[in-house]
Structure 1
Amino acid sequence: MTPAARYGAAIEILDAINTGTPAEQQLTRWARGARYAGSKDRAAVRDIVFDVLRRRASSAFLGGGDTGRALVLGLLRGQGADLDAVFTGQGHGPSPLDPSEDVSSALADAPRDVQLDLPEWVLSALDADHGDDATGIAQALRDRAPVGLRANLRHGTQEDLTTTLKALGHNSIPHDAAPGALVLPSGTRGLHLTEAYLSGLFELQDPGSQGLVARCPAQPNTRILDYCAGGGGKALALADAYDLDITAHDADPKRMKDLPERARRAGVSVQIAEQVPSDAQFDGIICDVPCSGSGAWRRAPEARWRSTPEQLETLCATQAQIVDDCVPMLAPGGWLAYMTCSLFAAENADQAAAILARHPHLSTEATWSTTPLNGTDGFYLHVFRAAS
């Protein structure tokens, strides 16, 4: 595909997304039908679509509308690109620009929420929750996220993995969020196909997510429950760091389907439980609760445009119920790590305060948070300790 044809494909995909089709679903549908598109073409089209979704409001402002064509036009204007090189009308490229598509307004003329590509209610919440950092966080959410790796320390150190990756042509940078954390530039692909990955040297995991696990007060030979395990990344990280009896559970067991193979590759043991007995007792419980995902909106950018205050309120109720379900399974003197990938205080500090009010036998042992300003996704951790 020519560069212009890639933008043409992105326009079609964005038009489909505008009808309500989720971005991932539409990208998959397009890729299956576009047999002429190679892997580099599919990756390039995906990047264009996600770049637009991260900057949808400013792209619509600069493009003069919210059609796929207007959004791509606005994105390119914002990047200072050569528009005539894309809107060629040749092959599968978009048709040449019409004089009516000329937009003289500069982004500086737009409202602040448009400049920062966030819904107004989200920006107001960030202002209230993060003060002077809110604008910087919003700006960071407009860009692609870097690639995070976690060195499996049973197979080698952070420095060993850096050397291995460099031999493969990937320059990585250590991150201080966790002992095995590394960061690579955004756009790095194919790491899961390397021998280093297949032999268990590393997992793909954001440094901030690793930082959550590194700050859990786990001890060897204790019984741990990862209650909202998802793909199991945190359970694997804990199992790599300690000799534990660790159980992974998720309300949707299909999310854990790859966990046994990942554990085998890493050389660790993780038990999977589709159901957790209500009378079970654990020395530590991880509650990585369902949340807005606002801390990871660089990776799932359409979520910012679909989220509403009402959905946030519903999520907060779900989070509270999950913690309330888990507290009775916490052994005396045990710890519970409440985690989110959210930037909103309503899901973080406010939720933690409410948990303490409902469960007076719990006390705060530690808190930690990080945002895209720290080179990570946005995460929050509150560690509670039960009375002995």
Structure 2
Amino acid sequence: MTPAARISAAIEVLDHILAGQPAEQALLRWSRASRFAGSGDRAAVRDLVFDALRCRDSHAALGGGLTGRGLMIGGLRATGRDPAEYFTGQGHAPAPLGPQDNPVEDQETLDIPDWLRPLWDASLRDRADDVARLMRQRAPIWLRVNPIRADAAQAVAALGQDDITAEPDPRLGTALRVTANERRLSQSRAYRDGLVELQDLSPQLACASLPVAPGMRVLDYCAGGGGKTLAVAGRAPDLTLVAHDADPARMRDLPKRADRAGARVRIAERPTGSFDLVMADVPCSGSGTWRRTPDSKWRLTRSGLDDLTALQARILRKAAPLVGSGGHLAYMTCSLLDPENGAQIDRFLRGNPDFRQVARHLWTPLDAGDGFFLALMVRG
């Protein structure tokens, strides 16, 4: 596919997304209907679509309107390229430019939904604008070294055998930032043999700060794919690791991942007893990960956020009784919004005087990877 043909494909996908279709679903449907597109074409179209969604409103303003065409025109103008070179109408290129494609306004937008902007500003204060600007860029790819299988130097060397370049982060011995050929990761020996796992730096830092000691009983209450379970598994020997999720299908790949990592994890439909550490990485807005899932930024609504905060409170109420005396409850979100973070924990502590907070931290793209929140509480 030519660059212009890829832009035409991105316009088609974006129009479906703007009509309400989730981005991954729209990309998959286009890919299945476009057998002529090679892997490089599919990756390029995906990048065009996600870049447009990260900067949806600003690109729409530069491109003449909130359509797939407008987003592509605006994206070209934002990077200093002339859209007329691609919008020629020849072959599979989009139709030539017309008056409707002129910029509609000349003001900067930080690409945060209008209804959310006051809450965004209140949650992040003097960091709000800088974080919003970073959310318009692609996120870096981070790996977590599995100490059961390798150290950082061994993992870097193994990745290099597949021409994947990664560099350690000085803040955490298990964190590697991929600097080249990230699309080869899933087929690399280092990944297949369990030396590394995909995990952003921020949750890595959160998991590394949890109180983990040999022989502890640890429950991952909202386990999902099990990333945090496996992050804890490599920190101490003889851990009893239990994973639970309200939707067991989310844990479908966890046994295979645990086996690859050399960790023993028991899946529990209804966890019972008491635990030394309960982790609750609750469902949230995902506002900290909008660089990776930019369409979710535009699909979030006020009522949807209210539903999420109510669900988070229910999960806290269910998880708290599983924490033994002297044990810890770690509440986590990949959100930057205070109603899901500090305000949620303040409300929980007021209603549960047997818990007290020992740590609270909000990571942002300014100081780590994704936006990520951790509140650590102790019982008794």
Matches for 1:191-202 after TM superposition, within 5 Å: 191-202=185-196
Q: Is the contact between residue 328 and residue 378 of structure 2 (CA under 8 Å) also seen in structure 1?
A: yes
Are 2:259 and 1:264 equivalent residues in the alignment? yes
Deviation at 1:97, TM superposition (A): 1.3
DSSP 3-state at the match of 1:149: strand
Q: Is the contact between residue 313 and residue 348 of structure 2 (CA under 8 Å) also seen in structure 1?
A: yes
Q: Is the contact between residue 165 and residue 181 of structure 2 (CA under 8 Å) also seen in structure 1?
A: no
- The more displaced of 164-173 and 264-273 is 164-173
Are 2:336 and 1:336 equivalent residues in the alignment? no
Query: Among 135, 139, 143, which residue is 2:137 paired with?
Result: 143
Are 2:310 and 1:317 equivalent residues in the alignment? yes
CA distance in 2, matches of 1:165, 1:84: 41
**Counterpart position of 1:172:** 166
Deviation at 1:6, TM superposition (A): 0.6
**Counterpart position of 2:152:** 158
CA distance in 1, matches of 2:289, 2:181: 16
- Provide Cα deviations, 1:239-266, integer angstroms capped at 9, x if missing partner: 1222210111111111111111111111
**Counterpart position of 1:252:** 247
Query: Which letter does structure 2 place at the counterpart of 1:74?
Result: G
CA distance in 2, matches of 1:212, 1:36: 44
CA distance in 2, matches of 1:173, 1:367: 28
Deviation at 1:17, TM superposition (A): 1.2
CA distance in 1, matches of 2:263, 2:90: 54
Are 2:301 and 1:308 equivalent residues in the alignment? yes
Query: Which letter does structure 1 place at the counterpart of 2:320?
Result: V
Query: Among 273, 276, 279, which residue is 2:271 paired with?
Result: 276
CA distance in 2, matches of 1:369, 1:21: 31
Deviation at 1:366, TM superposition (A): 1.7
Deviation at 1:179, TM superposition (A): 2.6
Are 2:44 and 1:44 equivalent residues in the alignment? yes
Query: Which letter does structure 2 place at the counterpart of 1:175?
Result: D
Q: 1:172 to 1:372 in 2, by over 3 A?
A: same
DSSP 3-state at the match of 1:179: strand
Deviation at 1:375, TM superposition (A): 3.7
Identical pairs, percent: 47
- Provide Cα deviations, 1:284-329, integer angstroms capped at 9, x if missing partner: 1001011111000111101111112222122111111101111111
DSSP 3-state at the match of 1:336: strand
Q: 1:377 to 1:145 in 2, by over 3 A?
A: same
CA distance in 1, matches of 2:209, 2:221: 17
DSSP 3-state at the match of 1:353: helix
CA distance in 1, matches of 2:152, 2:360: 25
Deviation at 1:169, TM superposition (A): 2.7
Deviation at 1:102, TM superposition (A): 2.7
Matches for 1:1-388 after TM superposition, within 5 Å: 1-103=1-103, 105-106=105-106, 109-110=107-108, 115-185=109-179, 188-243=182-237, 244-277=239-272, 280-387=273-380
DSSP 3-state at the match of 1:189: helix
Q: Is the contact between residue 145 and residue 186 of structure 1 (CA under 8 Å) also seen in structure 2?
A: no
Q: 1:316 to 1:207 in 2, by over 3 A?
A: same
CA distance in 2, matches of 1:85, 1:375: 38
Query: Which letter does structure 2 place at the counterpart of 1:367?
Result: R
Deviation at 1:177, TM superposition (A): 4.9
DSSP 3-state at the match of 1:203: strand
Query: Which letter does structure 2 place at the counterpart of 1:165?
Result: L
Q: 1:345 to 1:100 in 2, by over 3 A?
A: closer
5+ residue gaps in structure 2? none
CA distance in 1, matches of 2:270, 2:304: 27
Query: Which letter does structure 2 place at the counterpart of 1:373?
Result: L
DSSP 3-state at the match of 1:172: strand
CA distance in 1, matches of 2:115, 2:75: 23
CA distance in 1, matches of 2:117, 2:68: 25
Q: Is the contact between residue 63 and residue 104 of structure 2 (CA under 8 Å) also seen in structure 1?
A: no
CA distance in 1, matches of 2:296, 2:268: 29
CA distance in 1, matches of 2:90, 2:23: 26
Q: Is the contact between residue 65 and residue 104 of structure 2 (CA under 8 Å) also seen in structure 1?
A: no
- Provide Cα deviations, 1:172-215, integer angstroms capped at 9, x if missing partner: 23224533011124872120111111111100000111111111
DSSP 3-state at the match of 1:374: coil
DSSP 3-state at the match of 2:214: coil
- The more displaced of 14-23 and 91-100 is 91-100
Q: Is the contact between residue 365 and residue 384 of structure 1 (CA under 8 Å) also seen in structure 2?
A: yes
CA distance in 2, matches of 1:36, 1:202: 34
- Provide Cα deviations, 1:49-69, integer angstroms capped at 9, x if missing partner: 111110100011111111111
